[in-house]
Amino acid sequence: MKQHAKIPVKLTNPLQTLFNHIEKANALILLEDKLTKLNKVFKDRSVAVAISEKYGTEAYESFLRQIADCSYTNRAQRLGALDSVLNKIVNNIIGTTITLKPKITVTQLVSVINFADKMPSALWFGGFLQCLLTPRKTIKFMMQNDYLKQRFGSGSQNEALARIVETSRFAKSKKFIDFFSLNVKLGDMGAIIFGGKPYVDYLINTKGMSREDAFKEFVLEVSRAQQAATTSSLSEFQRSNNPIFRLYYAFQNTTNQYFRKAADAIIARANGDISSGQMIKTVLIYTVFNNFLYRMVANPYVWILGLAAGEWEEFANEAVMSVFDLNSQSIIFIGSIYQAILNALLEKPVLNSAKGLDKIPRDINKLILEAQKDGLEGIELDTWLNAMTDITDATTGIPASTIVNMGSSAIDFYEGETGKGVMKLLGYSDYQARKAAGED
């Protein structure tokens, strides 16, 4: 009698499986029709020549690759690649670095100004203040837009089915992780809704557009200004399946966004689409002003030290870096070298933040070095804790290191170091908290 190998049965949520199949079938049907039309139009010889003459052959070929990357086959390949062990670890590292921390919400909110270059700055600022005074009204108005409903996960056609899936016992861990990423979602919502409302009002009241047309123009600008997950808004490196590229560019989204907006403005001026004044305004916003705001939010100790102790040297260094940074970190390796030279000229050390795949090896290195001195008993508690939380981050996607760092604020409050405690609660590192307290 022929023996058959036993195939283990993997139990999954049937509703989740059904939901995935519906989504895939829907994507296949919609994409096939749209991509066929796009290929017919843009592969036409006259269209290809016109685009190549105005923007260059490389730009045209890159555009065709973007269309190809939107195909269902390529999307499936990318999703398959993301299932690899290394990519899962990379996903967890990226997620745990940004989740739970209120400071990430604040840094994202800097992007509210990304709509200001599309209208008179004073008009945008006045509209933005009005939005802050009437937040409920602002959110209610903007959430009438189907794109925002879809982006922020409410009102979609599969909402009822998704709700069933999410409340099933199979989805508990995902729901748990989604809770930790709420800060990222809130920052994204705040930047787009409160920054975009003045722009929509401007299109309706000043440009005379209907609400429907204004929202369409708004959605186009969101894709350009607030980098979405859509393939067309990502660079080729960001679309790469290579985990190293993904890990590097995951922390450069803001820089890439600013670099792209400034480059778009220069190209638009060269093509005669905008005036020199508009180009200068946009370039200054995205290479200097936004850069300065982001640095002030990401490294608040530089101005806290100035206000509290009159030590403005580090603030001045950050201000100089804002002018000469030029979003250079968006260019892999070369940008890092440029940053290192800038820091050296300002006599600033290049801090090794240990973000990424090298985090755990460094923990192991420290454990061994301390154990070599006095055995296992000689290993500091902090070293054990850092190693365990970093491993938890990478293997589960739960931000254990952030939880421990924020939890340690209780000790700071108990010891009367309120400033350090508040900084940690906001998601800043122990180093940044100590800097703000003037300890380092």
Identify the pLDDT of residue 24.
Answer: 65
CA–CA separation, 3 and 35 (whole Å): 48
Question: How many domains does one find in the chain?
Answer: 2
Q: Are residues 174 and 221 in the same domain?
A: yes
The ranges of the chain with pLDDT < 70 are 1-33, 69-84, 153-178, 225-244, 246, 248, 250, 349-358, 440
Identify the pLDDT of residue 237.
Answer: 60
Do residues 238 and 254 touch, judged by C-beta distance below 8 A?
A: no
Is 404 inside a domain boundary? no
CA–CA separation, 1 and 413 (whole Å): 73
Identify the pLDDT of residue 167.
Answer: 44
The residue segments making up the domain with residue 319 are: 264-345
Is 51 inside a domain boundary? no
Identify the pLDDT of residue 155.
Answer: 38
Is 125 inside a domain boundary? yes
Q: Are residues 224 and 270 in the same domain?
A: no
Q: How many CA atoms lie within 13 Å of 342's alpha carbon, on the beta-carbon side?
A: 19
Is 184 inside a domain boundary? yes
Is 177 inside a domain boundary? yes
CA–CA separation, 139 and 259 (whole Å): 29
Is 268 inside a domain boundary? yes
- Give start and end residues of each alpha helix (H) in 206-300: 211-225, 243-250, 253-270, 276-284, 290-298
Domain end point (choices 345, 375, 395)? 345
Identify the pLDDT of residue 29.
Answer: 63
Is 107 inside a domain boundary? no
Is 152 inside a domain boundary? yes
Q: Are residues 129 and 184 in the same domain?
A: yes
Domain end point (choices 345, 367, 388)? 345
Identify the pLDDT of residue 324.
Answer: 92
Identify the pLDDT of residue 208.
Answer: 96
Q: Give the dihedral of Cα atoms 102, 108, 110, 112; nearest 10 deg.
A: -120
CB atoms within 10 A of CB 52: 14
> Considering the entire predicted model, what is its pTM?
0.73
Identify the pLDDT of residue 125.
Answer: 95
CA–CA separation, 269 and 275 (whole Å): 6
Beta strand segments in 43-172, E: none
Burial label for 385, CB within 10 Å (0-12, 13-18, 19+), is: middle
